[in-house]
Amino acid sequence: MTTLGDTSAGTRALDLLAGRRIVALTGAGLSTDSGIPDYRGPDSPPRRPMTYSEFVSGEAAQRRYWARSHVGWARMRRAEPNPGHRALAALERAGVLDGLITQNVDGLHSEAGHRDVIDLHGRIDEVICLDCRDIGHRDDLQTRLAALNPGFTESISAEVESAPDGDAALEATDGFRIAPCSGCGGRLKPHVVFFGENVPRDRVARSYALVDGLAPDDGALLVAGSSLTVMSGLRFVKHAAKHGVPVVIVNRGETRGDPLATVLVDAGTSEVLGALAGTT
C-alpha cells in the first residue's frame, strides 16, 4: 500500500487509474476550492451540525436552524464549481467515469455539467415539507424568509463562519420568523439527510450497484475529498475492498478508509483530479 508520506503517491494513483473504469465518491474536501469549508479537514474548526431529532423537537430548534441557514445559504449560493468538479465532469464526458456518488449537498457537481450524480445526502437547494412531502426550491424560500426578516442577513458580520451544509455559526436567532409550507402550512426542512436520519434506500441501492459494476482487473473506486468518518460513505469503500476492487483515496489528511486503500494521496483534489482528466 502506498502511504501518505510517499511523494510518488499522486503518480502511482494516476498510473493505477489509467485505462480503468472509475466510480467516484466525493466529500466536502472537494468543494473547499469553491470557498465552501469542510467538516473535518486539517484546519477545520469543531462543528456541531443540527441533528434530525433536534430539528423536529419544536419551533425553537427550527427557528435556530433557519436563521443560521438563511445567512449561510445567501453565501453558499454564490459558490461556483472548481477545477475538481470540472475534471470529474470531463471524465464523465470522456466515458471514463461510470458514476459519481457525492456526500456533498451543494449541487456543484451538477452545476459543473455532471449528468449522472447520486446526491447521497440530498440537495441544499431544495426544501421538503415534513407534513405533505412537497418539494420546493430553496431560492423561493429564501425570498420568503427575507421578506419576513428584512435586513437580517445584512446585519450579520462577514466574519461569521459558514459550514458545508449552508449553516452559519450564529448565536442570536431569537425573533427570527420562519416560513411554513406554502401548500399545507406544515414544517419545512432542507431536502438533505441530517445526522441521525437515514439515507433513502434507493440512493444506497443505486450506489452499491455502481460499485458492484466494477471488476478488480479493470475498475477502481476513487474517493476524493472525504474523510470517510461517517458510514454512509465508508461502506462503499469497504464493499469495494471486500471484492478486490482497487481503492484510490485523494484527501488532505487521514481518512477512516486508509487501511483499505490501494493508494493514498495526501493532496488537494483539484490538482490530482485535473491531472487525471488532463484539464490542468
Query: In degrees, to the nearest 5, what angle opens at C-alpha 12 toward C-alphas 6 and 15?
Result: 170
pLDDT, residue 242, reads: 97
Mean predicted confidence (pLDDT) in 234-244:
98
Per-residue pLDDT band for 226 (boundaries 50, 70, 90) equals very high
Q: pLDDT of 21-50, one tens digit each? A: 999 999 999 999 998 876 554 554 455 678
**Is residue 153 a known part of a binding site?**
no
Whether 121 is a known active-site residue: answer: yes
Res 4 pLDDT > 50: no
Q: What is the mean pLDDT of residues 124-142?
A: 96
Range list for CATH 3.40.50.1220 in the chain:
1-36+81-121+199-280
Task: Look at the block and give the residue holding cell 503518480.
Answer: 11
**Distance (Å, whole) CA 87 – CA 218:** 21
Among the listed residues 85, 109, 114, 121, the single catalytic one is: 121
Question: Is 34 annotated as contributing to ligand binding?
Answer: yes
pLDDT at 5: 42
pLDDT of residue 14: 93
Q: Which of 37-51, 53-67, 131-145, 169-183 has the lowest mean pLDDT?
A: 37-51
pLDDT band at 83 (very low <50, low <70, confident <90, very high): very high
Residue 219 marked in a binding site: no
Question: What pLDDT score does 163 carry?
Answer: 56
- Residue 142 annotated as binding site: no
| Architecture of the domain defined by 1-36+81-121+199-280 | 3-Layer(aba) Sandwich (3.40)
pTM (2 decimals)? 0.89
Q: Tell which residue, 46, 3, 241, has the closest CA to residue 163.
A: 46
Kindly tell me the burial class for residue 136, based on how many C-beta atoms sit within 10 Å of its own C-beta (0-12, 13-18, 19 or more). middle
What one-letter code names the amino acid at 234?
Answer: L
Query: How would residue 9 be classed by pLDDT, with cut points 50, 70 and 90?
Result: confident
Q: Is 216 annotated as a binding residue?
A: no
**pLDDT of the residue at 2:** 46
